Structure 1
Amino acid sequence: MSLDEKFNKAAEDVNKLKSKPSNEDLLEIYALYKQATVGDVNTDRPGLLDVKGKAKWDAWSGKKGVSKDQAKEQYVAKVQSLIDSIGLA
């Protein structure tokens, strides 16, 4: 299975988890997904009132410089660790 196939399967599997991951895990998944699909953050940081948006932007910005392939590998590993700990529905 190619890296892209593993990544796409992990992106599907993350929606099938038995329960919702922690906010920290969700931010990590979001940041790795964005880094893998878009690359380095390419938008302005949201304003003070957008707390959720800022947290997501900060998480993604923290992945700056990680290659798309590295981000895909990390994403697949993170989703697998969530599947191992939470399980699939």
Structure 2
Amino acid sequence: MELQAQFEKAAADSKNLSSKPDNETLLQLYSLYKQGTEGDVNTEAPSNPFDFVSKAKYEAWLALKGKAKATAMEEYVALVEKLKA
């Protein structure tokens, strides 16, 4: 199966995990997904200092700056497979 198809399947599978991952893992999933689909951060940082969720998501994605889309997709697929086990 090609990487794009594996990635899309993993994205669908991530919605049906037997248990909800912890917040750190959710951030990792989010940032790898965004990096795999959009590449480097292309938005401004959240302006509301009290929007902790958006800030955490933004910072997690920003931390992956420079990572190739294909690499992010591979890591996302591997993480979802690990969570399904």
Q: Shorter chain as normaliser: what TM range?
A: over 0.9
Alignment correspondent of 2:27 = 27
CA positional deviation for 1:3: 0.4
Question: Partner of 2:39 in structure 1?
Answer: 39
Alignment of structure 1 residues 1-89 onto 2, 5 Å: 1-46=1-46, 47-84=48-85
In 1, Cα distance between equivalents of 2:68 and 2:8? 17
Query: By how many angstroms is 1:45 displaced?
Result: 1.0
TM-score (norm: length of structure 1)? 0.92
TM-score (norm. length: structure 2): 0.96
How many residues align? The count is: 84
Question: How well do the aligned residues superpose, as a CA RMSD in angstroms?
Answer: 0.6
Q: Distance in 1 between matches of 2:60 and 2:80?
A: 16
Moved over 4 A (4+): none
Identity %: 51
Distance in 2 separating the partners of 1:25 and 1:83: 13
Gaps of 5+ in 1: 85-89
Q: Aligned-pair distance for 1:44?
A: 1.1
